[in-house]
Amino acid sequence: MKYGYATVSTTHQDLEIQLQELEKENCDRVFSEKYTVAIKKREEFQKLINLLQKGDTLVVTKLDRFARSTQDALEIIKDLFNRNIKVHVLNMGIIEHTPSGRLIFTIISAFAEFERDMIVERTQEGKMLAKGNPDFREGRPKKFSRKQINNALLLLENHSYKQVEDMTGISVSTLVRAKKRKRAEKIIEKELI
């Protein structure tokens, strides 16, 4: 049988493109999962590996979907080859169980790991550079400016929370938090005087 495996490393990423590619490849069954680097245990992948039998083919779209490190990839491929299971990486082709096939696989696995490491390094460098900017705020950018929030708080003097939400698009919960924060700021100001 031909089994496909699709994975992404964060819950925000989408599996759809990989699933479509595996469907085009006519996989009999496809396993998929989302996992993070912190959760290295890939339960669906382990189920698939345990299910594979002699003569089966494992299909993945890219090498970095197969393993997270060169060492991991080599251990998995060695186990699969010993069990006479074929491995097809769609952007590389079928990995041959020959000395040259294993060499090519090892080299490409090392490059894939190197590329992942470089992406992490560039991301960290970008964060460090951004943190030098006084306006830098880690996390999701604010949806509404301070001016918009202050205007909405002024509207609350003569309107209900729901009315202000309808007028401004700022949710009631955001307005409540902003009002509490404003009250706390005033209390701190009074104490400093």
Paired with 89 in beta bridges are 60, 93
105 or 20, higher pLDDT:
20
Q: For 53-85, write each residue's pLDDT tens digit.
A: 999 999 999 887 777 778 888 888 889 999 999
Q: Which of 9, 32, 69, 171 is catalytic?
A: 9
What pTM did the predictor assign? 0.59
- 100-107: long-range contacts (C-beta < 8 A, 24 or more apart)? 102/77, 105/73, 105/74, 105/77, 106/70, 106/74
- 141: pLDDT strictly greater than 90: no
Round to whole Å and give the CA distance between 190 and 173.
26
Q: State the pLDDT at residue 42.
A: 81
- 131: pLDDT strictly greater than 70: yes
9 is catalytic: yes
| Confidence band for 49, pLDDT divided at 50, 70 and 90 | very high
Q: State the pLDDT at residue 128.
A: 83
